[in-house]
Amino acid sequence: MRIVILGSGQGSNAEAILKAEREGRLGRGQVVQIFSDRPDAGILNLGPRFEVPATFLDPAPYKTKLDGEGEQHYIASILACQPDLIVLAGFMRVLKRRFLLQFEGRVINLHPSLLPAFPGLDGIGQAFRRGVKVTGCTVHEVTIEVDAGPILDQAAIRIEEGDTLESLAAKVHAAEHALLPAVIARLSVAKR
C-alpha cells in the first residue's frame, strides 16, 4: 500500500508512521512521499532521516484551504505518486470537493478528540476547558464536512484531577502516535 503523508507542522505523527514502517509495524504500508504546505515545516526534515522524498508544495492562494491552482498542483503531485492512501498528519488546510472526489475513499485524518465531540481546531483545549473526564483521538475518513467522516478507530484518554493542558496534550499525542500507525497497518492488510 503506497502512502502519501500531508503535514503542516513538526511531523510527530508522520515520524510515528515512519518509525512503525522501519520497525515492521505498518503492515504492507510503505510511505512513498511527504508533502508540506509550509516550506519551514519540521515534517520536511523527516525525509532525509527516513529516506523518503519530502517536498514543499505551494498551496497558494489561500491560507486555510486548498483551492484553485494550489489544489490542482497538489492533486497532480499526489497522483504522480500513485497513492493507495493519503494520510493527513497535522495538515492544517481544509480539503475541497475536487480533491476529495479525486482521491475518494483514500484520505484519512487524525483528530485530537473523540469525534464527534470537539471537532475543528484545538480539540484538546476544547475538551480540557469543557471539563470532560475522557477525551482522546480519532482516525477517520475525510469527507467534505470537516471532521465528520466515518470513524475508523479511536483511543480514549482519561483526564486526571492533576492534569494540565500540557500534560493532557502529551497523553493525547502519545495515543495518536500509537493509534495512527495501527490503523494504517490494518488498512494495508485489508487492501489486497
Identify the structural domains of the chain with CATH numbers, from first to last.
2-190 (3.40.50.170)
Distance CA(125)–CA(172), nearest Å, equals 11
pLDDT digits (tens, 9 = 90+) for 79-132: 999 999 999 999 989 899 999 999 999 999 999 999 999 999 999 999 999 999
Residue 38 to residue 145: CA distance in whole angstroms: 24
Contact predicate 92/123, CB 8 Å? no
Give Cα separations from 10 to 13, 42, 83, 106, 121 (angstroms).
9, 4, 23, 23, 17
Rounded Cα distance between 43 and 8, Å, is 7
Of the candidates 185, 165, 188, 107, the residue with the CA atom closest to the CA atom of residue 140: 107
Distance CA 143, CA 33 (A): 22
Question: Does residue 158 have a pLDDT over 60?
Answer: yes
Instruction: Spot the catalytic one: 73, 111, 173, 177.
Output: 111
Global pTM value: 0.94
Can 140 be counted among the known catalytic residues? Answer: no
Looking at the predicted structure, is the pLDDT value of residue 192 above 60? no
Please report the pLDDT score of residue 191 as a whole number: 67
